[in-house]
Amino acid sequence: MEKEEKEIRPRVGIVNLERRGYPRFTVNLPIEYYLVDWSVSQRGRVTNLSEGGLLVYLRERVEIGHHLRLKLFFTSGDDLNAIEILAEVVWMDIHLGKDWGDYRFGVRFVDISPEDWTRLQKFLRSLS
């Protein structure tokens, strides 16, 4: 009986690569936020952070495309830092957890001062 030769084929499959331009870091940081036309700030949480944007939990529903002014608080060494960011809401879903807020948003950075940008990059480097 002759051995049957099997044809060897390269493996082909689907690879799920993220299309994000920056690495994401899991964090648990407080923020203050307000819509550009609000005068009173509210509190929320940041749970995911990158050089391009944030994953935030807020109590109010904010429509996609709206701009938020954010003040992000974090420690770097012994220093407490607060940086200010203008961000745009790019997606939203409902998160019914009571500890985080009722809504979960993805926001992208629209404007940040050079000084705050440097502080943010230094903080992100400390996380990696």
Asked if residues 48 and 28 have their Cβ atoms less than 8 Å apart, the reply is no
pLDDT tops 50 at residue 34: yes
**Average pLDDT for residues 10-30, to the nearest whole number?**
66
CATH class of 25-127: mainly beta
Confidence of residue 59 (pLDDT cuts 50, 70, 90): confident
Average pLDDT, whole number, for the chain? 82
Percent of the chain scoring above 90 in pLDDT: 54
Please tell me the distance from the alpha carbon of residue 60 to that of residue 53, in angstroms, as a whole number: 19
The domain ranges of the chain are 25-127
Provide CB contacts within 8 A for 55, sequence distance 6+.
Answer: 46, 47, 48, 49, 104, 105, 106
Give me the pLDDT at residue 40, please. Answer: 82
Task: Give the model confidence (pLDDT) of 68-115 as tens digits.
Answer: 999 999 987 778 889 999 999 999 987 666 565 689 999 999 999 999
Task: Give the model confidence (pLDDT) of 102-120 as tens digits.
Answer: 899 999 999 999 999 999 9
**Average pLDDT for residues 47-70, to the nearest whole number?**
92
Place of tokens 């648990």: 28
3-state helix, strand, coil in the chain (%, to 5): 10, 50, 40
Give me the pLDDT at residue 16, please. Answer: 37
3 state SS of 119:
helix
pLDDT tops 60 at residue 20: no
